[in-house]
Amino acid sequence: MKSRITELLSIRYPIIEGGMVSIGDPELAAAVSNAGGLGIITAGGKSKGQLVQEIRLAGSLTDKPFGVNIALNARQQVGSYVEAVTQEKVSAVTTSAGSPEAITGQLHAAGIKVIQVVASVRHAKKAESVGVDAVVAEGYEAGGHNGPDETTTMVLVPQIVDAVKIPVIAAGGIGDARGFLAALALGAEGVQIGTRFIATNECIAHQNYKQAIIQADDTSTALIVRRPGRFFRVLKGPWPQKVLELENAGASTEQLLPYIAGELNRKAAIDGDIEAGYLYCGQVAGMLKEVVPAKEVIDSIVKGVSVLRKRLMEVDL
């Protein structure tokens, strides 16, 4: 499985773990990297010292490349996060929720690859113009923060592939070999996967979170807080329903903020109180039926691609 992404990141398979707030920890990142992908530690909500400790822990668990996700809207912490990743010399940084222009040069000077998550052609072109090494084209099927235009992966990826010369990684609605191969057919050279990696043994997410994912169906997620710079895809439940009711009643962004605070996500995702908080989750959850090791996720994609390629070759077109 060679592509510009595997060459860029020195990984065996072009499969990248998505940055996941509250649960993007070093154990899962190391497991993904050991299986041949690129594991990602999420910086959000951590101090510089905590991030350094987690990078070092991941480094003790794998001798393979791994990276860190930095959300650029956390402006006060971005500088300290950049100091941490350059000090510890991680392989790559994925950036999101803002322009990476101010930090790309510093990361490159430290030998770190920069991959920007985008949800539009315009943002992909901008990311390319400031020197990033690749972009993740994320459709609004994805869990967590989403683009305001609600563009699906199927139509977003090929348009971004046509618009930029740097490698494109597809994200949103990908959780098995079918999604992986479809992404390649659209012109992507790799995939980013989030929700599927939540339902793994190594993920620190509470068992209630994992069970909610594997019990989900095709209608189990909702978009909440449809405001500029927001947009979350979450599992439906009592708390998201409160948010939707407030939105429908005309609540302002300021009125909604207490209902989408980060501690409410941690309360549900880590503590397991899924009725008193919200859970990020992509639409792919309806396809997931069991909690498995991260290695099994990647192995099943790799094996499945071989089967699918053979099947496609046998189709009489």
Is 236 found in the same domain as 106? no
- The pLDDT of residue 145 is 81
Q: Does residue 126 lie within any of the structural domains?
A: yes
Q: What is the CATH number of the domain that holds 19?
A: 3.20.20.70
Average pLDDT, 10 consecutive residues per value, the chain (317 residues): 93 95 93 97 90 96 96 83 93 91 93 95 95 96 85 96 97 95 96 96 96 95 76 90 89 84 89 91 95 96 90 75
- Which of 76, 137, 80 lies closest to 68, judged by CA? 80
Is 226 found in the same domain as 242? yes
Q: Does residue 82 lie within any of the structural domains?
A: yes
Q: Does residue 317 lie within any of the structural domains?
A: no
pTM: 0.92
Q: Does residue 22 lie within any of the structural domains?
A: yes
Q: Does residue 87 lie within any of the structural domains?
A: yes
Is 225 found in the same domain as 194? no
Which residue matches tokens 């350094």? 52
Q: Does residue 195 lie within any of the structural domains?
A: yes
Q: Does residue 315 lie within any of the structural domains?
A: no
Is 96 found in the same domain as 26? yes
- The pLDDT of residue 317 is 64
Q: Which residues of 57-88 are buried (b: 16+ CB within 10 A; e: fewer)?
A: ebbebbebbbbbbbbbebeebbebbbebbbeb
CA pair distance 156, 123, nearest whole angstrom:
12
Is 274 found in the same domain as 194? no
Phi, psi angles (nearest 5°) of residue 25: -105, 170
Is 139 found in the same domain as 25? yes
CA pair distance 141, 10, nearest whole angstrom:
28
| Domains in the chain, number | 2
Q: Which domain holds residue 107?
A: 4-205+290-309
Is 125 found in the same domain as 88? yes
Is 94 found in the same domain as 150? yes
Is 253 found in the same domain as 212? yes
Is 302 found in the same domain as 176? yes
Side chain identity at 152, as an amino acid letter?
T
Is 247 found in the same domain as 139? no
